[in-house]
Amino acid sequence: MTDPHLDHLVYAVPDLLAGVAEFAARTGVTPAAGGSHPGGTANYLVGLGPDSYLEIIGPDPAADPAGRPRAFGLETLTEARLAAWAVHPDGIEETVRQARERGYDPGEVQPLSRLTPDGTLLAWRLTRRAEPAADGLVPFLIDWGRTSHPATSGLPQLGLVSFTATHPDPAAVRRDLAALGVSLDVTAGPAATLQARLDTPRGPLTLR
């Protein structure tokens, strides 16, 4: 069962334009340009319903290639991977406080922004840790504030059939998820892996 607070999935690619082209070829849906972030990344988006979306993120083609971005492991990424996910809690500060009381630290709440292709500045707040918990299996928190949610901007759509994960120690991951008050089906496996099964015009597709 997908968490009702799911905000978006993060699909990291080493080459943004090539990754978007491959995604479009595999799904039959062309992602919409999202815009550029400070720090050298940019993204493209596909809606997963009225409240959530898939973010394809990679190095910004317009940025200085000497400054390899560090978000989501892009500085060493060699192939596309489902790297992280985000949830939008009812109150981000209160969720952080409660999670810390329960033994899990989501990180500090920090501001972030990006410019859309039409020049609109989108601003939000999210939690950041020095290292992603369980290789990205535990989500970060996001609060869009007064900014319109990207899923409401007329994105091309795909269906999210299921969202699951594997981990060598699923019980430890479940404890951290419970501290945040979010749910994810985590089963035992040899590696930490997120898996999203999508319904596309070209048939089912699983991203890992």
Kindly list the averaged pLDDT for each block of 10 residues, start to end, along the chain of length 208. Answer: 92 97 98 92 96 96 75 90 97 98 97 91 93 91 95 96 98 97 97 97 98
Report yes or no on 88 lying in a domain: yes
Q: Which residue has the tokens 């940019």?
A: 42
153 domain-assigned: yes
Amino acid at 34: G
- Assigned domain for 119 exists: yes
Range of the domain at 47: 6-157
Q: Domain with 135 in it: what CATH number?
A: 3.10.180.10
Q: Is 204 among the domain residues?
A: no
Residue 69 lies in a domain: yes
Does residue 171 form part of some domain? no
User: Is residue 76 domain-resident?
Assistant: yes
Yes or no: say if 109 and 93 are a contact pair by the CB < 8 Å rule: yes
The residues with which 140 forms a beta bridge, in sequence order, are 86
pLDDT value at residue 73: 87
Whether the model clears a pTM of 0.85, i.e. scores above it, the answer is yes
Q: Which residues pair with 36 in a beta bridge?
A: 42, 115
Structurally, how many domains does the chain consist of?
Answer: 1
In a domain, 176, yes or no: no
